[in-house]
Structure 1
Amino acid sequence: MDLRQLEYFVAVAEERNFTRAAQRVHISQSGVSAQIRRLEKELGAELFDRSGRSAELTVAGEAALEHARAALAAAGAVGQAVGEVTGLLRGNLGVGMVIGCTVTPLFDALAAFHEAHPGVELSLREDNSDRLVADVRTGSLDLALIGAETEPEGLDSLTIVAEPLVAAVPAGHELDGNAVSLAELAAHPVVCMPSGTGQRAVFDRACAERGAQPTIALQAGAAQAIADLAARGLGVAILSRSMAAEFDELTAVPITDATEPALLALTWRPGAGAAARELVRYCCAAFRISVDQVCRSEVTAR
């Protein structure tokens, strides 16, 4: 029995299909099947019921799966421990980024990290902030750049930007040049981020606290799309102050009673591995944040 056989076994068990498992582990289906047969011969029991269209675990397979996963995790931990001692980071690192938010310093950090630690395979996924936080909690992601009302509880976090929301309108709009309250804003259609994003959560909470009921005319996940829609007169854009400043065709109008800032923050699990902690430090350098703040953040979160 070797780790390769266990890896193939787990892949088939999770995919419930030999073809998909073979694609996942990057070898031929016949190769996966042969290795599984050798493993079954060594164990003296069939691990899969192959009579149906999908590969279903037998009772023996069910009993073996948890132990196979544990063996693979233990083998990975051995490599990680040695890597930490020798300074050679290896493995996989999943990074999340809030959708519609192009943040150049994050890309700079990923590039610098990859150059310094080519043994770590990086993956980057966009999603809304709620799902990114959930995936960091479960370990599906190691680190995420999120938009939020507040830093997530139970996770280590570091705020990159904290700034208020504004209403952004084209020249000549009724609100152009004036501060506006949420009640006044409710008289106009609004274009904003969808639910599950930090900016939307901040906006919805401010409206609820003030009893304002704006009409959400259109939603988009990217600031550029929101700005384009607002510039065409389809609604008042709700954006963070720095986002609104990027669009010359719009004027940022302060919202007098939406004072809570929207956050852009890095978040990761307490006790994250060496690769994740190292990437946090690269992010700090790219965003020009003191590494001491990370240390304080970790202590506070715990």
Structure 2
Amino acid sequence: MPTLRQLEYLVTIVDEGSFTRAAELLHITQPGLSHQFQALEREIGSPLLERLPRAVRPTPAGRAMLPHARAALAEARRAATAARRTAGLATGELHLATLYSISYGLLPAALGAWRRRHPGVRVRLFEHRRTEELAAAMNAGQADIAVGPPPPGWEGPVRHLGTEEFLLITHTDDPAAEPGADSARAPRVRLAELAEREWVHFTPDSGLADLLEQACAAAGFRPRVAVRTEQAPAAANYAAAGLGPTLVPANTVPPRFNGAVLRPDPPVSRPLTAYTRTTPDPITAAFLDTLAGQGILTPRHLRRRLGPAESG
């Protein structure tokens, strides 16, 4: 049976693309690494890597083995961390997986509070583009906890964190923003009134693209595209510059933002959760409490700017 060390060799060689660089990173001689890796291939009974003139590439057997090797190494790290926690040590590493927009909007304040309370526990962050990609990574053992929309059919513990509001962003001179020009409170804007506009959209591999498409479909149209971007902050900046309206999570809009910030009609939102595969250990449970204490509704600076949300 392959050892964890041999699995680490496989992962490192693939990630580095070279036996030489992998040997340096692993603090082992290149002949020693080659010898140990050949022993792994004999154990498996099949070549795992194709040696190219300037690189290495996984064979079909190597590609099949690689995700399991990564999962085994991640599980071993978590086992060591759990043992240290049980022993009462205030050190270790928390593995956290989330979506890009949540990483930008929600997590900085939560991670800052966590760092102040638990300076000896490091956080390793894994970022994903889509909800299903995030859930698959969690199933594969990538992280201790995931933060994102509730994954369908998830069998482990799930903690509801709140509802994330999405806002309509456009240029301050946009006619859609004019009704609020003489008011301290911005009105709702019917998405159907923007059906003929070109929109700042998201790249197809971003989960925010699906959300924008669904919101516009609910208003009876499909958005035309002016430009696509992967990130919510970039979309907000493009919209504020006049390229077209967009929808972004409220917690990604910074203070003193110079674009028009409006509430869409109908409202657009998504529930957010934190979920784990098994019952959270004490450190993971403490992080959940920290996360829940930060709040994920519309940030205070936007509540003052927009006024209270309307009920219908």
Same fold (TM over 0.5): yes
Match for residue 142 of structure 1 among 128, 139, 144: 144
Paired with 1:183 and 1:167, the residues of 2 have a C-alpha distance of 13
Task: Provide the residue aligned with 1:296 in structure 2.
Answer: none
Paired AA for residue 135 in structure 2: V
Task: Provide the residue aligned with 1:105 in structure 2.
Answer: 109
Paired with 2:119 and 2:97, the residues of 1 have a C-alpha distance of 19
Paired with 2:49 and 2:168, the residues of 1 have a C-alpha distance of 61
Cα distance, 1:272 vs structure 2? 4.8
Contact 1:168 1:250 in 2 (8 A): yes
Paired with 2:248 and 2:229, the residues of 1 have a C-alpha distance of 11
Match for residue 237 of structure 1 among 246, 252, 256: 246
Paired AA for residue 228 in structure 2: Q
Match for residue 279 of structure 1 among 279, 287, 290: 287
Contact 1:230 1:236 in 2 (8 A): yes
What stretches of structure 1 of length at least 5 have no aligned partner? 60-64, 289-302
1:116-174, Cα deviation, whole Å (9 max, x unpaired): 43xxx53223331332232122212322333x4xx223154444452433322222212
Match for residue 189 of structure 2 among 180, 197, 202: 180
Give the number of equivalent residue pairs. 269
Cα distance, 1:212 vs structure 2? 1.6
Paired with 1:51 and 1:248, the residues of 2 have a C-alpha distance of 50
Cα distance, 1:188 vs structure 2? 1.1
CA-based RMSD of the aligned residues comes to: 4.5
Paired AA for residue 28 in structure 1: T
Contact 2:81 2:93 in 1 (8 A): no
Task: Provide the residue aligned with 1:267 in structure 2.
Answer: 275
Alignment TM-score, normalising by the size of structure 2: 0.65
Cα distance, 1:46 vs structure 2? 9.8
Paired AA for residue 277 in structure 2: R
Contact 2:75 2:141 in 1 (8 A): no
Task: Provide the residue aligned with 1:213 in structure 2.
Answer: 222
Cα distance change of structure 1 residues 196 and 94 upon mapping to structure 2, 3 Å threshold? farther
What stretches of structure 2 of length at least 5 have no aligned partner? 180-187, 297-312
Question: What percentage of residue pairs aligned between the two structures are identical?
Answer: 23
Answer with 212-221 or 47-56: which moved more.
Answer: 47-56
Cα distance, 1:76 vs structure 2? 6.3
Contact 2:190 2:265 in 1 (8 A): yes
Answer with 158-167 or 225-234: which moved more.
Answer: 158-167
Match for residue 190 of structure 1 among 188, 196, 199: 199
Paired with 2:173 and 2:277, the residues of 1 have a C-alpha distance of 47
Q: Secondary structure at the match of 1:279?
A: helix
Contact 1:144 1:266 in 2 (8 A): yes
Trace 1:161-180 onto structure 2 (pairs within 5 A).
Answer: 161-178=162-179, 179-180=188-189
Cα distance change of structure 1 residues 246 and 189 upon mapping to structure 2, 3 Å threshold? farther
